[in-house]
Structure 1
Amino acid sequence: MGSLFNAKVVPAEDIFLCLFFLLEGEKRFDRLCAMHALLVQANDQLCKSRNLQELTRFTNMLSIRDPTSGCFAWAPTLHAHAILQDIFDGIRGWKRIQAIKSQRYEARVKNRLIPPHAAGPRLR
């Protein structure tokens, strides 16, 4: 699914549907691996502003901790913790990439000059 999203075959909504489906069930290592695989194949477009609310909700649900031990509920072992940390690091990196892209876009728009022949007589 992540590769299909990367190739722009499926929308972000389908990615989040799969992720939340995996979150709903029992907290097992194979489900965490499936979430990791899905996200590794996706790209930073998953962090665009229109998807940010769902991504934040997913991250919040994934980062729930066990009240007694204080460990992540999805990461009771060292291997699971490493995968979980890689998911969080990847999402954090995507958010940085999107912030940089946004800044570059704003700078281009701000510095864009309208050529005199492009504006009508009222705008000159």
Structure 2
Amino acid sequence: MPVSNSCFLNWSEKCLSEEGLSETDYRNIVSRSYYSAYHEVLSLADNDLRLGVSQMVGPSHLKLSETLTNFICEDKAKQKVIRRLGARMHALHGMRIRADYYFDITLTDTEAKSLVKNVNDVFRVIKNELQDSAA
């Protein structure tokens, strides 16, 4: 059964409802939630906005956030939403890097919950503010 971009986010939300989570659990929640948003936003950039981010040379996560942060179009309201999405992805990526590589810095349940909330906001923005006007 194929998975969708929201599957990892759903898994993270389910995990957060459980008792007795460890810091390792929080790190996995942050990482999986980030990737849920990353693939959703990458799909928007490549398929709906036709920006070709997947074809760009260089670090793909950075290219995605940079491309969106520098997005220009005639619809200035849409441009503002997409640029904010790029900035949000940059911040979420920073948290994912921290969760995956910086074990000397404690990652808490509050941070994991905050990241999951932010990822939900990414999905909401795409669905409610960009879905109909992306093309």
Asked whether the two chains share a fold, i.e. TM above 0.5, the reply is no
More helix by share: 2
Q: TM-score, normalised by structure 2?
A: 0.35
The structure, 1 or 2, with the larger RCO (C-alpha pairs under 8 Å, 6+ apart) is: 2
